[in-house]
Amino acid sequence: MKKRFTVEGMSCSACSSSVERAVSRLDGVNSASVNLLAKTMICDFDEDRIKSEDIIRAVSKAGFEAFEITEKKVERQTSEKDELTPVKTRLMVSFVFLALLMYVSMGHMLSLPQPFFFEGREMALIFSFTQLLLTLPVIYVNRKFFISGWKAVKNKAPNMDTLVATGSLAGVIYGIFAIYMIGWGLGTGSLEIVDTYRHNLYFESSAMILTLVTLGKFFEERSKNKTGDALRGLERLREETVTVERDGKEIQIPTDSVAVGDIVVLRPGSRVAVDGIIVEGHASFDTSSLTGESMPVEKGVGDEVISASLVLDSYVKFRATSVGKDTTLSQIISLVENAMATKAPVARLADKISRIFVPTVMAIALVTFALWMLIGNGFEFALSRALSVLVISCPCALGLATPVAITVSVGRLAGEGILVKNASWAETLATVSTVVFDKTGTVTTGKMQVSDVISDNPQKMLTLARSVEEHSEHPLAKAIVEYAKDVATLDVTDFVSVSGRGVRASSKDGTIFGGNYAFMCDNGIDVSSFEEKAKELSTQGKTSMYFALDSRALGIIAISDTLKEGAENTVKALKGLGIKTVLLTGDNRVTAEAVAKQIGVDELIAEVMPADKEAHVRRYQEKGRAAMVGDGVNDSPSLAAADIGISLGSGTDIAIDASDVVLMGEDIGQVARVVTYAKATLRVIKQNLFWAFIYNIIGIPVAAGVFASLGFVLNPMLASAAMSFSSVFVVTNALRLLKK
């Protein structure tokens, strides 16, 4: 089974990789996926062989804390702010003491007034010791770097905190060593030693490294919070209380207490808390928060209502059918959370590199120090280069490159009524070469409607047609009855339905016949005068139903499955992206050709049995990635077989296992939207990975001093600022997806 866990204490991709390895090695665990951004882990394991407690224990041994997620948080916004507060406090304290430290250590260089006890060789000990005292509070408030870094080393999985802690601690240790040397010089009268060390203290570098990294973390956390705005918006749609009718009285109870079968009362302005079926009243519902459709939907007795819908007018009662975690809103939130918590295939390269990144950087820092010492540039110069290497290296940017983009895009699409089930959607959908469409319910509405009435006496024909067809359950019959609902009817007897042919019944005017051409021929009725018109209608994708009274043909009622608005533009947009479009349907070829011509697909495959659709999809997969767009029910095999399945207009049935993307509304234009957005998301992911890699590839050599001969060196303070910027840049770049 799959369970979700919160993982605390991770700071970079090396951390998340460490947790994944620790859990994946457990006997009984099938897979473990850790999301650094969301601080969550999805674990698939066999409950008969391993328990949640064993997984939590393994995470703890790896140096982190894990908690099983057993219930949804109704409101995350508070927790997100609470998470940002400690970082902000650390930052404020760090800046105060850093400012004092910089004034003491460098004020004389800027000719700033300083106390007399900081001036001259004689006061060198006070001067240096004061800097140490001002550095200690900065170290204390940022102690998490040292604690986490040490735990990571103990578990043989050094991380970003290890690099920061090592760089800062090395500066402090050297500063303490310098204090001792100053004391030695003053005690022995070796003033040259005093002069050497009192101007080469590294306390300000150590404090600056911690402060700037914390500043970067603050901006990073603030930016990351924005990536979860869409999810928090969905969670805010949850209603805490609901009005129900019990024992003839209306009472207000917590939403969690609503049971299936309860009668829920809604008034204008109320938001639906659970799913159900209307039993009394009629009202307009705003479903835009879930489906993305801006137009209100009229619903009455017998219609379904879904959670998070807003009642715009009237008083309505409905019977609860889905409550708690089974409501539409809860399932949507679950889908979005799971999609954000999974990993995209493109992230695997970064994960592999992160496993060896920190140890490699530490080795480079040691080699840098050793080489500069051998060259003879002095201890201070060698130490400065090594510290710069340690603090400029940023595994965070690598770890955040993919998840921030996925989190932003999944949340943004959810707000538009487009739900994706996993992080691989963007990479797959952005590279499809063929999109295969089902016809009925996908590019057409699936609702049969009368389009033409051909007769010398249409009023009389409609009267006879409704009189006989209202006794039939066939979809075509229902369309005729709906069209002629305002027409008077005749009493009929001896109703007979011939499967696949038509119907007949007796009335006071005579025997009424209604059906296809073959049915008319079987009953000896001449319909030749209408044959040409019937053929013309068939080329338009319309089905002709003949009607006759006794032996005399009365005319034709043409019925068609109407094309969805935007179907033609969707196909055009996909073709503009270089994607081949295919219409795959079980309908007869004449009707299918009419629809295919209207929407402009590249290829048509008609008269295909449902079981054979999957084989056709696999044939396109041999030439490249193929996406299947269907209604999410009848097309399950082909949706599952496709590289990515898109379920369109699923209503409340959002948990369709076969599809990877669920479009909540009926707008087929969302197909083109999700494809173009997938391309934009993948583009941002690649940009992030490129900059994360190139940043380290260029930054580490520069920090090591490869350009020192040209007079260009990077001190540890600038290196730490650069490191912090890299993570902020990656997150900010991903946030551009919110505007697309």
Q: Which of 259, 400, 397 is nearest to 326 (CA)?
A: 259
Instruction: Dump the DSSP string for 616-636.
Output: HHHHHHTTS-EEEEE-SSTTH
Query: Which amino acid is it at 388?
Result: S
Residue 74 burial (CB count, 10 A): 13
**Cβ–Cβ contacts within 10 Å for residue 648, how many?**
26
3-state secondary structure of 513: strand
Q: Which residue is it, tokens 């402060």? A: 211
CA 408 remoteness from chain centre? 6
Would you call 438 a catalytic residue per the annotation?
A: yes
Report which secondary-structure segment, H or E, holds 639.
helix 636-641
3-class state of residue 463 by DSSP: helix
The H or E element containing residue 213 is helix 203-227
Termini Cα distance of the chain = 36
Q: Which residues contact 188 (CB under 8 A, 6 or more apart)?
A: none
Decide: 455 and 556 in contact? Cβ < 8 Å.
yes
Determine which one of 262, 351, 438, 631 is catalytic. Answer: 438
- Contact indicator for 263, 243 with CB cutoff of 8 Å: no
Reduced to 3 states (helix: H, G, I; strand: E, B; else coil), residue 663 is strand
Distance between CA 104 and CA 556 in Å, rounded? 98
Given a contact cutoff of 8 angstroms between Cβ atoms, the answer to whether 391 and 720 are in contact is: yes
Question: Would you state the structure tokens that stand for residue 62, as one six-digit string?
Answer: 């790896």
- Is there a contact between 8 and 342 (Cβ–Cβ < 8 Å)? no
The rounded distance, in Å, linking the Cα atoms of 574 and 567 is 11
Strand partners, 65: 8
Alpha helices in 470-522 (DSSP H): 475-483, 517-522
Helix (H) / strand (E) element for 544: namely strand 543-549
Q: How far is CA 113 from each of CA 96, 103, 121, 133, 203, rounded to the nearest angstrom? A: 19, 9, 17, 20, 21
CA atoms 670, 675, 678, 679: torsion sign:
negative
Helix (H, G, I), strand (E, B) or coil at 449: strand
Active site residues: 438
